[in-house]
Structure 1
Amino acid sequence: MVRSILSSSTENVLEKALGASALRHKIISNNIANVNTPEFKRSSVLFEERLAEALNETKATPARTNPRHLAGHNGGGDFNPVIVTETTTSIRADGNNVDIDAEMASLAKNNIYYNAVAKELSRYFSNLKAAINEGRR
């Protein structure tokens, strides 16, 4: 009950963004670990694109102002990260397509992204805590 009261779309998006970033870290680390493995194909995580699509669907859905109105599709729910393996490219003779420089840059970018999302989630919970504490006075 309390969970449903305190849950919000902001919290949901931030939690999924943290999860996607953690998954992306694992995938990039796997790519780096297999940089010298013949025939290895790099993988990547799609999340931001799916989130943008879900948010666009939500914006396009009109609000129901009367219970007799038809319910529209409420997008925004299915934006889980997806792992994609790039099988069509090869940058070396052994069939491997991992570029170590690109992977290291992606890892650094993902680290910055994770820290920013974690900070925003922390700020969200701090604001929630402040609202609860102010309500007690």
Structure 2
Amino acid sequence: MNLINNSTNQLLETAVSSSMTRQNTISQNIANVDTPNYKAQKTVFSHELNRAQEGQRLNAHRRDDRHVEFGGRPSNDAATVMKRTNTAYNHNGNNVDIDHEMSEMAKNQIYYNTLVDRLNGRFNSVRTVLGQGR
């Protein structure tokens, strides 16, 4: 049994990394709020993309593990950055809504802090089990 490198810790690590990607994307949007023709970006987690594409996916049966995956779910749960091109809020072609970006940043900060607290709790449990905690 691996106490440190288990599936839950790997999932939390991926979520923290994705949250950092989202924070960087939001920061870029805020920094370019007055840039002409700048198109806002958003970070989408792959499980959200999978859910949105569920009805459009073809499924295939692989007879051998060496065959290329076809129609299945991607193996990583990392975040993907996409441009929002279907809106324009300003006359100069810029589509950054500063109020929306600030609220998304606040939500992402709460999400990130929750993930870090959960990871910290898991590592404190391991320390306690090993006799290092109090």
Q: Distance in 1 between matches of 2:121 and 2:50?
A: 22
Partner of 1:125: 123
2:30 aligns with one of 26, 32, 36: 32
Gaps of 5+ in 2: 52-63
Equivalent residues in 2 for 1:53-92, closer than 5 Å: 77-92=75-90
Gaps of 5+ in 1: 54-69
Partner of 1:43: 41
Partner of 1:10: 8
Which deviations, in whole Å up to 9, do the C-alpha atoms of 1:8-40 show, x marking residues without a partner? Answer: 111001111111111111110100000001100
Q: Is the 8 A contact 1:51 1:76 kept in 2?
A: no
Which deviations, in whole Å up to 9, do the C-alpha atoms of 1:50-103 show, x marking residues without a partner? Answer: 5986xxxxxxxxxxxxxxxx98x9x78411111111112211221111000000
Alpha-carbon RMSD across the aligned residues, in angstroms, is 2.9
Q: How many residues align?
A: 115
Partner of 1:59: none
Larger % of helix: which? 1
Pair 1:48–1:116, CA change in 2 (3 A):
farther
Partner of 2:61: none
Q: Which amino acid aligns with 2:97?
A: D
- Regions of 4+ moved over 6 Å: none
Q: TM-score, normalised by structure 2?
A: 0.74
Q: Is the 8 A contact 1:51 1:79 kept in 2?
A: no
How far 1:127 sits from its partner (Å)?
Answer: 1.0
Q: Is the 8 A contact 1:18 1:117 kept in 2?
A: yes
Q: Distance in 1 between matches of 2:75 and 2:42?
A: 22
How far 1:5 sits from its partner (Å)?
Answer: 6.4
